[in-house]
Amino acid sequence: MNTELKLQALLDGALDAREIREIEAILAQDIQSAALMQELKWMKAAVAGNEAEVKLPETREFYWSKIERGIAAEAKQAAAAPAERAWWLRFIYPATGLAAMVAVMFVVSGGRTTDGADTESVPEDVNAISFRSEAEAMSVVYVADENGTFNPVGQETKNEPEADK
Amino acid sequence: MPQPPDFTTTLDVQLVAFSQAGDMIAFEELVARHRDKIYARAFSMMRNEEDAIDLSQEAWVKAWQRLKQFQGDSSFATWMTRIVINLCLDQLRRQKRTRAESIEQLDEELGGVERQMPVVASNPTEGLERAELRKRIDKAMTQLSYEHRTVLILHEFEEMEYKQIAKVMNCSIGTVMSRLFYARRRLASLLQSLKKEQQS
């Protein structure tokens, strides 16, 4: 806070004892600060209790009539509010349920997405993997040998359509 | 036909209690008692009769809706005055957003203008009759920006502390002090000009 604002705070009784001593020491030495303090004092004294007297330029009845209408309009609006809310509430609950269901499905699937194409399963704790291609309509199982190399087991199996057999 | 109750001698606290129970006649009596004060506060802030009437009436409507919240911590008149002050400030902020700022207003907001003003060496209100003093103060206050005028009104007329003003005006205590300082310095300068005009 600068000295000018401290002078004002002194005038308004907003300083603590230490600050009052500090600012009074400045006032005793600095003529400019003392002159400014005097100006602020004049203004505070002039304004306090000298607010212009203003009267409402309307009759009691006329002024009240608009207030009464305002109260009635607000009450009407407040009564209508639950009905207005109801239409979107009818949609918000099913939408929330649907969103929750999608979220659960996403979490359960681990965030993976499939497009119905090829899938491969590679468990870490077994020495066999399987491969299935929907497009080729076939499944292949690979089993690891003692060196950890995966080889297809027997012949690759191609699932021919029944009509082709 | 039953006569409506006569509340003219009923205390404010009782009228508030009746109003809180839904008695609109009691509420109308409160309006009648305090309408001048509430309108005057709105007018001092807005400096416009039409706005002051509309906002003071809106304040009464709001008061009716919020009557249950009034716990009697302050007087009913003080509580009502706070409502109208808040409505006026909202309106003034909206108006300010829609009008271009003058260079002088920008200077005021940035601060520092008050430091360039010479200190008024003689009391510009000395020897004035009260009616004339009020008139001059009112005239000078119309020339302040709404932020400076409001701080002055809240501090000097509503007797609010810096902290309370900061809360109502949604600004820092430092800003309140700076605005009040500028408002007082500018008021001194304007009153001095009015005095010189009168003398010449």
Beta bridge partners of A142: A129, A152
Q: Is some CB atom of chain A closer than 8 A to the CB atom of B161?
A: yes
* Res. A164: pLDDT tops 60: no
The CATH class of B102-200 is: mainly alpha
Q: Which of A124-128, B18-22, B45-49 has the lowest mean pLDDT?
A: A124-128
| Segment B174-188 mean pLDDT | 96
Share of chain B above pLDDT 70, in %: 92
Query: Is A103 in the same domain as A59?
Result: yes
Query: Is A102 in the same domain as A70?
Result: yes
**What per-residue confidence (pLDDT) applies to B120?**
92
Query: Is A32 in the same domain as A77?
Result: no
Closest residue on chain A to B127 (Cα): A46
**What per-residue confidence (pLDDT) applies to B110?**
54
Say how far apart CA B29 and CA B8 lie, in whole Å. 7
Q: Are strands A150-152 and A138-144 parallel, antiparallel or unpaired?
A: antiparallel
Residue A79's pLDDT band (cuts 50, 70, 90): confident
* Comma-separated ranges of CATH 1.10.1740.10 domains in chain B: 1-99
Q: What is the per-residue pLDDT across A18-64, written as a single tens digit (0 to 9) for each?
A: 999 999 999 999 999 999 999 999 999 999 989 999 999 999 999 99
* Comma-separated ranges of CATH 1.10.10.10 domains in chain B: 102-200
Which is more confidently placed, A57 or A115? A57
Which is more confidently placed, A153 or A105? A105
Q: Find where tokens 């309408």 sit.
A: B35
* Res. A78: pLDDT tops 60: yes
- Residues of B in Cβ contact (< 8 Å) with A65: none
Q: Which of A16-25, A134-143, B182-191 has the lowest mean pLDDT?
A: A134-143
Residue A162's pLDDT band (cuts 50, 70, 90): very low
**What per-residue confidence (pLDDT) applies to B26?**
97
Which is more confidently placed, A42 or A107? A42
Q: What end-to-end distance do the CA atoms of chain A give, in Å?
A: 96
CB B153 within 8 A of CB B138: no
* Res. A106: pLDDT tops 80: no
Beta strands in B5-90 (DSSP E): none
* Res. A165: pLDDT tops 50: no
Nearest to B31 among A48, A51, A64 (CB): A64
- Residues of B in Cβ contact (< 8 Å) with A54: 36, 39-40, 43-44
Which residue, among A11, A15, A33, A67, would best test binding to B if mutated, counting the most B CBs under 10 Å from its CB?
A67
| Parent domain of A20 | 3-47
Q: What is the mean pLDDT of chain B?
A: 91
Q: How many domains does chain A have?
A: 3
Q: What is the per-residue pLDDT across B69-110, written as a single tens digit (0 to 9) for each?
A: 999 999 999 999 999 999 999 999 998 887 755 555 555 555
| Segment B4-13 mean pLDDT | 90
Q: Which of A73-87, A114-128, B183-197 has the lowest mean pLDDT?
A: A114-128
Beta strands in chain A (DSSP E): 119-121, 128-133, 138-144, 150-152, 157-158
**What per-residue confidence (pLDDT) applies to A163?**
43
**Record: fold of B1-99:** Rna Polymerase Sigma Factor; Chain: A (1.10.1740)
3-state SS, A125-159, equals CCCEEEEEECCCCEEEEEEECCCCCEEECCCCEEC
Query: Is A15 in the same domain as A61?
Result: no
The answer to whether the CB atoms of A67 and B57 lie below 8 A apart is yes
Q: What is the mean pLDDT of chain A?
A: 79
Positive or negative CA dihedral for B178, B184, B187, B189? negative
Say how far apart CA A8 and CA B151 lie, in whole Å. 14
**What per-residue confidence (pLDDT) applies to A45?**
95
Query: Is A96 in the same domain as A61?
Result: yes
Which is more confidently placed, B49 or A138? B49
Query: Is A59 in the same domain as A106?
Result: yes
What's phi and psi for A138, nearest 5 deg? -145, 160
| Segment A134-152 mean pLDDT | 70
Question: Which residue among A83, A98, A113 closes a domain?
Answer: A113
Query: Is A39 in the same domain as A23?
Result: yes
CA distance, residue B73 to nearest chain A CA (Å):
24
Nearest to B35 among A35, A52, A63 (CB): A63
Nearest to B64 among A36, A57, A71 (CB): A71
